Structures are given as structure tokens and as C-alpha cells.
Amino acid sequence: MRCAKLTSNHATVQASWQISAAKINPEMKCPYCGFAQDRVVDSRESKEADSIRRRRECERCNKRFTTYERIDEIPYMVVKKDGRREKFERQKVLSGLLRACEKRPVSAAKLEAIVDETEAFLVDSPERERTTNQIGELIMNRLRTIDKVAYIRFASVYRDFKDVREFKEELEQLLNTREASKTGRR
């Protein structure tokens, strides 16, 4: 069974198709009168080619309405530290990055690139899921190269530092890496 969300200009209409022996059975009601039979007047693919726009006419009230059909995809999942699975949300990653980079000289374009790279990393997963550890490490590695303060801010939340000692160890590790890279350049 394949489901699609159909949105008309006056109402949201759900449709599901049961495909059996080449028979397609759309279950949809007119948003004006609720009648279950309509005819398609016009069909067009959207500019982005990710949905189909259909003009429909109700066979009872003869009013026309527009629906947009889009394939429901299986969501990409994030496996939390406790084993729970959550749907990946770009906005959640971006908001974490924005907090870490608050009042720092990091452009929105760089943050968007990190989010894009994170999403691509998830999409490349054959299981359609990644652990928060894998995602967090990827983000921290990118932040480390862009802005050290933003990196420390993000790491302190991501790694859930319990005390100042853990925070200090992370800072020392960052400083040692920085010093090693400076002496390696000379």
C-alpha cells in the first residue's frame, strides 16, 4: 500500500492507493461536499519534479479543487544513545549549530553546509539510519576546522560534560592539536 498526502487549495485530502491486479483505487472526498467520486481535469508535474499537481472536478457539486500528490518516503532515523530511534530533523541540527555559533564569526552558509553534509551522510547509510555518536562526531570535526569556540560549545552539550575537569581536558586536547599543527608547519 502506498500513501500520499494530497493538498487542495481549500482543504487537505488524504488518498491511499491499493494496488492489486493493476487496479488503482483512490479513496478521496470532495473538500466542498464530501462526495467520493471526482474526475481529473488536468495533471502536471511540479517544477521541482517532486510532486504531481492535479485539477479535479467533483461529480456531484461540479466544483473544482487542486491536489498535490507526493510519495511518502521512509524517514531517515537517528539512533539515540539509549537505543531509541527518532526521525532526522534538519532544523534540530541547525538550531544546535546556531546556539554553538552564537556571537561567533561563522556564516549561515557554513552552517547550512554542515547541515547538508550531515544529511548527505545519513542518506548514504544503507540502513537509512546513523547513531547520534556518528552524527555528533561529524559535526564536531567540521566545527573544529571552522571555529574553535563554537566547537567547544557544541562539544560541551554533545558530550555532556559532567564537570569542569572534562571541559578542561577537551580544551587541552584542542590546544595540543593546535600546537602540534603549528610546529608541524615550521
Q: How many CA atoms lie within 13 A of 139 on its CB side?
A: 33
Residue 184, pLDDT score: 63
Is 40 in the same domain as 105? no
Containing structural domain, residue 158: 77-185
- Share above pLDDT 90 across residues of the chain, in percent, rounded to a whole number: 47
Is 84 in the same domain as 167? yes
Contact predicate 43/52, CB 8 Å: yes
Residue 157, pLDDT score: 82
Of 69, 86, 104, which closes a domain? 69
pLDDT band at residue 10 under the 50/70/90 scheme: very low
Cα–Cα distance, 177 to 170 (Å, whole number): 11
Of 69, 103, 127, which closes a domain? 69
Cα–Cα distance, 175 to 28 (Å, whole number): 62
Q: Give the number of domains in the chain.
A: 2
List, for residues 151-164, the tens digit of each pLDDT value.
Answer: 888 888 877 777 77
Residue 178 or residue 75, greater confidence: 75
Is 181 in the same domain as 89? yes
Is residue 22's pLDDT more than 50?
no
Is 87 in the same domain as 34? no
Residue 125 or residue 5, greater confidence: 125
Is 55 in the same domain as 87? no
Is 93 in the same domain as 179? yes
Is 13 in the same domain as 105? no
Is 16 in the same domain as 102? no
Of 41, 69, 97, which closes a domain? 69
Is 55 in the same domain as 84? no
Is 110 in the same domain as 160? yes
Cα–Cα distance, 38 to 90 (Å, whole number): 37
- Lowest mean pLDDT segment, chosen from 2-6, 83-87, 171-175: 2-6
Residue 181, pLDDT score: 64
List, for residues 78-119, the tens digit of each pLDDT value.
Answer: 999 899 999 999 999 999 999 999 999 999 999 999 999 999
Residue 43 or residue 177, greater confidence: 43
Is 125 in the same domain as 33? no
Residue 49, pLDDT score: 77
